[in-house]
Amino acid sequence: MKEITIDVLKDAASRLMFEMTEEEYVKLFQELSSLTAQMEAISQCEDLDGYEPMTFPYPVQTTYLREDEPLPPLKREEALSNAGSTLEGQIKLPKVVG
C-alpha cells in the first residue's frame, strides 16, 4: 500500500481539484493513519478472502426496456438557468485550447 505522507495527501487533494490548509492536512493524516490501522486489523480475519466484495445490498435485476417514445427534452433556458457563466445560449468557460 502507498505510504501515507502529507505530500501524498496534497497530491490527492490536487487531483480532486481543491486546496486544504496545512492544519487540515495534519488532521487528515491522523484520521487516515488510524483508518488504515483499523483496516489492517480487519485483514487479520482469516476467512475475509472467502467473501466476494459486496457492491450492493442484494442483487438487483433491472431488465425492462422503456418504450422508445420521444419526450420533450430539457429546455435550453432550464439547462442554463443554474450556470454562473453563459454566453449566447451556451455555458461559457475559459479557453481550453490555446
The footprint of another protein (CB under 8 A) covers 1-2, 4, 8-9, 12-13, 15-20, 24, 27-28, 31-32, 35-36, 38-43, 45, 47-49, 51-58, 60, 62, 64, 66, 74, 78-79, 81-85, 91, 93-94, 96
Closer CB to another protein, residue 49 or residue 68? 49
Are 4 and 36 a contacting pair, CB within 8 Å?
Answer: yes
Q: Which residue has cell 501515507? A: 4
DSSP code for 86: E
CB 4 to another protein: min, Å:
8
- Taking alpha carbons only, the member of 39, 37, 42, 21 closest to residue 9 is 21
